[in-house]
Amino acid sequence: MTATNTSSHHIVFLDRDSLIANVRPPAFAHSWKEYAHTRGGEQTVSRLQGATIAITNKVPLRAAELAQLPDLKMIAVAATGTDILDLAACRERGIVVTNIRDYARASVPEHTLALMLALRRQLVAYRADVEAGLWQASERFCLFGHPIRDLAGSRLGLLGYGALGKAVAQLGRAFGMHVIVHNRSPIEDDSVTQVTFDALLATSDVLSLHLPLTDKTRNIIGAPELARMQPTALLINTARGGLVDEAALAQALKNGVIAGAGFDVLSKEPPLPDNPLLTLRLPNFILTPHTAWASEAAMQKLADILIGNVEAFAQGTPTHVVASAA
């Protein structure tokens, strides 16, 4: 790719408030406009008129919007997932799409383990008991009532084994867990055991998801898959909303099909009021608002990579490319 005329670039950041970090100015001549958030649709098209580079975290850009943006040359996604974009339409229009990689290799795995620990140690249930005065009324020095299980000696199943899956595996081993993996393609890693999808479901004590959201992975965990898991198993999702059938999960938790679940993502974000997971008031379910990625260090690294991607594109040597001209 030849160098781009950097003096003509107009950059628009559609959802600046999604990133709490110092976003340094790109090191080339440009104009810059940022918005705290953008609703999408017509507002997105209006704000991107004349823009050659769009920055978006979660504001979607589909074929209908892209068709109205003839000047757009690059979309810099301020995240790893790119399902907010119509990648085929980007390729057809010659729009380069980049994403962010390996910025949350500590933040997301730590959050994943935190969910596992909280559920295995029954932290939510015991905190509720203390707040209800049950410990204060106990005849013993401690309060029982919720079974506590160790991570040590249990089996950690990973569905997907990219950078974050590998980091979770490392933490799991540090806690004494045996790691099994099901991945789309074979992996060369003697520290884990590769198993079939059926074996992963049937034998994992904790099943953690680390997949992108695609047509093939949407609802990859539904009612049939939940039924094949052990009744003592936990399901953890810090990857993408939509990987799990949320209605099926809610029913499985209510009926004791699995022991618990910890989620940081939902199929629609912000969630709609009728999302079945929002109304669960169960001590064995923890829902956090898509914050696994959002440590201060991770967000600053993301911001630095983001601007690096923009600068590389302007220099004619784009990096972290997800899509380019067809």
Summarize the confidence of residues 289-302 as an average pLDDT: 97
One domain, residues 243 and 152: yes
Same structural domain for residues 120 and 88? no
Residue-level pLDDT at 3 = 43
Predicted pLDDT at 1? 40
Q: Are residue 161 and residue 248 in the same domain, yes or no?
A: yes
263 membership: H or E segment, kind and range: strand 260-263
Mean pLDDT throughout 72-94?
A: 95
Report residue 190's pLDDT band, with 50, 70 and 90 as the boundaries: confident
- 269 as an active site residue: the answer is yes
Please confirm, yes or no, whether 210 is among the known catalytic residues.
Answer: no
Is 30 tagged catalytic?
no
Q: pLDDT tens digits, residue range 40-61?
A: 999 999 999 999 999 999 999 9
pLDDT at residue number 63: 97
What pLDDT sits at residue 7? 56
| Single-letter residue type at 178 | H
- One domain, residues 78 and 127: no
Question: What is the domain range of residue 144?
Answer: 107-287
Residues 69 and 195 placed together within one structural domain of the fold: no
129-152 pLDDT per residue, tens: 999 999 999 999 999 999 999 999
pTM of the model: 0.89
Domain match, 146 and 81 both:
no
Region 214-240 average pLDDT? 97
Q: What is the pLDDT of residues 266-277, one digit of tens each?
A: 999 999 999 999
Neighbours of 223 (CB within 10 A): 15
* Cβ(175)–Cβ(124) below 8 Å: no
* Co-location of 193 and 270 in the same domain: yes
Other beta carbons within 10 Å of 57 = 21
Angle CA 62–63–68, to nearest 5: 105
Q: Which of 290, 296, 311, 320 is catalytic?
A: 290
**CA–CA gap between residue 119 and residue 62 (Å, rounded):** 39
| Whether the predicted pLDDT of 6 surpasses 50 | no
Whose CA is closest to 45, among 69, 14, 11, 74? 69
For position 198, which CATH number holds? 3.40.50.720
Are 280 and 303 contained in the same domain?
Answer: no
- Do 53 and 97 lie in a common domain? yes
1 within domain boundaries = no
- Whether residue 51 is found in the same domain as residue 121: no
Q: What is the pLDDT of residues 232-266, one digit of tens each?
A: 999 999 999 999 999 999 999 999 999 999 999 99
pLDDT band at 2 (very low <50, low <70, confident <90, very high): very low
Q: Is residue 292 part of a domain?
A: no
- 306: in domain: yes
List 24, 39, 127, 269, catalytic entry: 269
Q: In the chain, pLDDT over 90 holds for what percent of residues?
A: 92
Find the catalytic residue in 155, 240, 246, 320.
Answer: 240
Could you tell me if residue 179 is inside a domain? yes
**Spatial distance between the Cα atoms of 103 and 163, rounded to a whole number of angstroms:** 10
- Number of structural domains in the chain: 2
| 223 and 152 in a common domain | yes
Q: Which residues contact 287 (CB under 8 A, 6 or more apart)?
A: 262, 263, 264, 266, 277, 278, 280
User: Is residue 281 in some structural domain?
Assistant: yes
Same domain membership, residue 59 and residue 133: no
